[in-house]
Amino acid sequence: MTPEALRGIMLVAGGTGGHILPAIAFGDWLRREKPHVRIDYMSGSRPIEREIYGASNIEPRVIGITGSPTGVKGVRSLSRWADLIKGVVEAGRALKNFSPDACVMFGGYASVPALAAGRAGGIYSVLHEQNALAGRVTKLASKLGVKIASGWKNCEGLKRSRYTPVGVPIRRMPLMPKETAWDALGLRPPAGSGPVVSVMTGSLGSGGMANILTELAGRESFSSWFFLLLDPESAAPRSAGNIVRLPRVWDISPLYSVSDMLITRGGASTLTEAIAARKPAVVVPWRGAADDHQMKNALAASGEMTLVWDERGDSIDELALKLKRLHGKYTRENGFESNLLYNSGEAAETNCRRLWSFVVNCRKGEVDVE
C-alpha cells in the first residue's frame, strides 16, 4: 500500500472536549473530503466523554480507563495503573478488530494505551498536540519516535525539529440569523442595547468563572450588557439579572451567532474557534491546568482581539477595562460586523487538511505540510 492510499484511520481522543472535539472535527472532514477512508474512534470511559461523542452521534470504542495514574495517590493510583494495563489490552483488541492503516492520537490519558498497543501491533501512529505546551503523553510519544503535529507555531517542551505546526482541527460553525440562533438556544433576544457576551467555561464548567461573572455583571457600568454563561450544572436556561446560565451546548453555532464578544477559558480548541470566527475575547486561563498549559495557550493566542486576564493576580477592574476596550474598538460603527463568523469555515478546512497532509507525509518520510 502506498502512503497516499490510507484506507482506515483510528482516531484516539478522551478526557475532555479539548482532546475530543478536534478528533471529531478531523473525522467529519475525512468523511466529507476522503470518503474512501474508514474511520473509527477510541476513548476512555468517563461519562463526559460519552456525552461529547454522543452529541455528534458517534459511538467510540471505549477502553476502561478514567484518568492518569500519576494524578492521584494511594488506592486510586493503584486502581488506575491496573486500568491502564487492561486498557492496553483493550486498545490492542480494538485496533486488531478495526485494522487501521494509521492511528491518530489527540493526547490525554486515552492515548497511552493506544500508543502502546499500536507499537506492539506495528500500526503507524502520529500524535496531535492541541496545546502550546507539550503534555506528558506528547513528550513520551516524541521520545518513542512518534511524529508530533502541533496546534500552534510553537510547542513548548519539544525541540523545534520534533514537531510540525498544523493548527487545531475545529468544527465548522455556519452562520445563523440571530433570530434563528436565539430560538435554537431557547431564549428571547435581550432588551438592552449592550453587547452579548458568551462565557465559555470549558466542558467541565467553572465555579470560579461564575463567581467572577456575577461580580462583574452586577456593576452599574455593565447593566446594559447581556451575559450567557455555559454552566454544566444547569438542566435548562436560568436567568438572574443580566446573566443567563445555559446547559452545555455542543452545537456552538447558535451561541457564536448571537455573541458579540467572549470570555473564555484557555482551551486550545475554543481559542482557535474564537480566532477563526473573529470574536473579540478576554481569555481567563485556568491556572490549575496541567503544567499551566492554559496560560501558555492564552499567551500564544493573545493579540489585538484576544486579551489575557489572570484571575490569580489581576483585579476585576482590569477585567472590566479589557472588556470595555474590546467593545469600544470592535463595533459596527468601526466597521466590525461582530455577528459574522468570517473565516471559521476556512480555518476548519485548512487545519484538517494540514493534519491529513501531515499523516500522509509522515508515512512517506516527509513532514513538510506547507
Show pLDDT as tens, one digit a residue, over the chain (370 residues): 444 578 999 999 998 889 999 999 999 999 999 999 999 999 999 999 999 999 999 999 999 887 777 777 788 888 877 888 898 999 999 999 999 999 999 988 889 999 999 999 999 999 999 999 999 999 999 999 999 999 999 999 999 999 999 999 998 887 788 899 999 999 999 987 789 999 998 765 566 888 899 999 999 999 999 999 998 888 788 898 999 999 888 888 899 999 999 999 999 999 999 988 889 999 999 988 889 999 999 999 998 899 999 999 999 999 999 999 999 887 654 444 444 444 456 778 899 999 999 999 987 765 554 4
* Strand bridging mode 38-43 / 61-62: parallel
Among 3.40.225.10, 3.40.50.2000, 3.90.1640.30, 3.30.70.240, what is the CATH number of 8-171+346-363? Answer: 3.40.50.2000
Q: Which element (helix H / strand E) includes 61?
A: strand 61-62
Taking the C-alpha atoms of residue 233 and residue 363, their distance in angstroms, rounded to an integer, is 44
Q: What residue segments make up the domains of the chain, in order of their start?
A: 8-171+346-363, 178-340
The pLDDT score that the predictor gives to residue 206 is 65
The pLDDT score that the predictor gives to residue 196 is 94
The architecture of the domain spanning 178-340 is 3-Layer(aba) Sandwich (3.40)
Q: Which element (helix H / strand E) includes 103?
A: strand 102-105
Taking the C-alpha atoms of residue 195 and residue 183, their distance in angstroms, rounded to an integer, is 18
CATH fold match for the domains 8-171+346-363 and 178-340: yes
Taking the C-alpha atoms of residue 205 and residue 69, their distance in angstroms, rounded to an integer, is 23
Buried/exposed 308-337: b ≥16 CB within 10 Å, e otherwise: bbebeeeeeeebbebbeebbeebeeeeeee
Q: What are φ and ψ of residue 230, in 5° steps? A: -75, 120
Number of CB atoms found within 10 A of residue 245's CB: 20
- Contact (CB, 8 A) for 311 and 213: no
- Provide the edge-to-edge strand list for the sheet that holds 38-43: 61-62, 38-43, 8-12, 102-105, 124-129, 147-150, 163-165
Q: Reduce the DSSP state of residue 256 to 3 states and report it.
A: helix
288 exposure class (CB count in 10 Å sphere: 0-12, 13-18, 19+):
exposed
pTM for the full predicted model: 0.90
DSSP helix, strand, coil percent of the chain (3-state; round to 5)? 45, 15, 40
The pLDDT score that the predictor gives to residue 74 is 83
